[in-house]
Amino acid sequence: MRREESISKIIDWPLFIVFILFLLMGIANVYSAAFDPDHPNIFDFSQKYGKQILWVAFSCFLGFLVMLIDASIYRKFAIPIYIFCLILLVVVLFMPAVNGAHAWLGFGSMGIQPAEFAKIGTSIALGSYLSRLNLNQQNVSTVLVANLLIVVPMALILLQPDAGTFVVFTSFLFVMYREGVTYDPLILKLVNVIPGVKFKSTWVGSHFIPILFVVIFLSLVTLLMSNNVITFSWFPGIVIPGFFGVILSLFLLAVVSYFILRWMSSRRDKNRVTLIVLIGFLLCAGISSTVNFGFQGLAKHQKDRIELFLGLREDPDGEDYNRNRAMAAVGSGGLKGKGYKNASVASVESNHVPESETDFIFCPFAEEWGFIGSFTLIAMFMFMLVRIITIAERQKSRFNRIYAYCCAMILFYHFAINIGMDIGFAPVIGIPLPFFSYGGSSMMSFSIMMFILLRLDSQRNQMLM
């Protein structure tokens, strides 16, 4: 690529255009959600919509600076950037609590959330490390380092506490799965200490993400059944508590699966099949026990949110008020919506939906633009995600590809969980909708993340590692 080539020829315009559209739509949505009749000017910087314009302008300015920096800088300084983010996460723990969380670094009347920028730092560090890793020669140390890059900031964020950002960091596991990182070395290290057992590979470590989905499913099943009882009509006197019913069901499933797999497998693979079934049963039983007893040890408000989300109990005007009102606002939009600035349930005046300009920003949008507008917004987000994945797959540099996938997964988590909260498909954990929710930290972090991606893509033919 020639040095004199203009920015207009190297930037990915489809992604850039949808990004700019989101910024403009986000400003318009915050203006509607936080509108004050006494301050109708959208450029009134004493109001949230005026401040949002400042944050967008400043984010674009930072993005312009990012586009001037050579893309190789991020790979060269990945570890210093990552360490700097960790230092900020430590420092913020000693700051005064805001809404019960030590998550803000204050600068006068302003403040930033280091956790938002830690997602970028972790993406860069993970890309730098995995791009240097020989996936054909993975060992315990390489797998541990890859996971520690994610676990360390997660632990610091959990101490704040910030459950929403903590959950978002699990998105990096999917990126490692895409790059072929396997947990086989760790599992083999643990399994081969058993006398008489010697395996060279396992099925479990290479399929960690599918197993993770099974774990989540079993956890939900355990919680749904733990407070119930199982009765048998043909034996009226037998009553089994739901938790033990889960264990019994899993045991019977494991036994049946064991004999089926033994019958289907060849003689030389029987040891491996036995190990898989044994690990599977122990995993299932362990999950059921851990989830059940761990759930009992949670704080009351955490247990309340989980129980309300799973439908174990109802409290529409109490603990479940936010989610209940959010669903009401989304549903009241109907097919075509009530029109711009005509939201009633999610309006500032009614105050039925708390934080309607931040965590529940989708509510006023859905109420004003209805199903058609909501579907259009979701389609635009899906286009952005598909475009980022397309950009990732055309990279010649592994670092570029890994970073692009990190961006895609972070955006997907935010998009899916935020909208899921508003329609009752996800628990309320407090997570912003990218480019829409009011807030300087999230706006800057998402914008910088996108501009770094655009810059890396613009030099994709120069960065080959």
Domain spans in the chain, listed from the N-terminal domain onward: 7-181+372-458, 212-296
E-state strands within 88-242: 105-107, 110-112, 229-232, 235-241
Supply 455's token pair: 């810059």
Burial 404-428 (b: 16+ CB within 10 A, else e): bbbbbbbbbbbbebbbbbbbbebbb
Predicted local distance difference test score (pLDDT) of residue 181: 82
CA distance 208 to 359: 31
DSSP 265: S
DSSP 207: G
By CB neighbour count within 10 A (0-12 exposed, 13-18 middle, 19+ buried), where does 100 fall? Answer: exposed
Predicted local distance difference test score (pLDDT) of residue 91: 92
CA distance 363 to 372: 14
Predicted local distance difference test score (pLDDT) of residue 44: 87
Contact 414, 168 (CB under 8 A): yes
Predicted local distance difference test score (pLDDT) of residue 328: 85
Beta-bridged to residue 232, according to DSSP, are 235
Supply 353's token pair: 């939906």
Contacts of residue 58, Cβ cutoff 8 Å, sequence gap at least 6: 440, 444
Predicted local distance difference test score (pLDDT) of residue 416: 92
Contacts of residue 194, Cβ cutoff 8 Å, sequence gap at least 6: none
Each of the 465 residues of the chain gets a pLDDT tens digit; together they read: 444 455 556 788 999 999 999 999 999 999 998 888 888 898 888 888 999 999 999 999 999 999 888 888 998 999 999 999 999 999 999 888 777 778 888 764 567 889 999 999 999 999 999 988 877 777 788 888 988 999 999 999 988 888 888 889 989 988 988 888 877 777 777 666 655 555 555 555 666 666 666 666 666 666 555 554 444 444 444 444 445 555 555 565 556 555 555 554 444 455 555 555 555 555 555 555 555 555 555 556 666 666 666 666 666 666 667 777 888 888 888 888 898 888 888 777 777 777 788 888 999 999 999 999 999 999 999 999 999 999 999 988 899 999 999 999 999 999 999 998 888 777 778 789 999 999 888 999 999 999 999 999 988 776 555
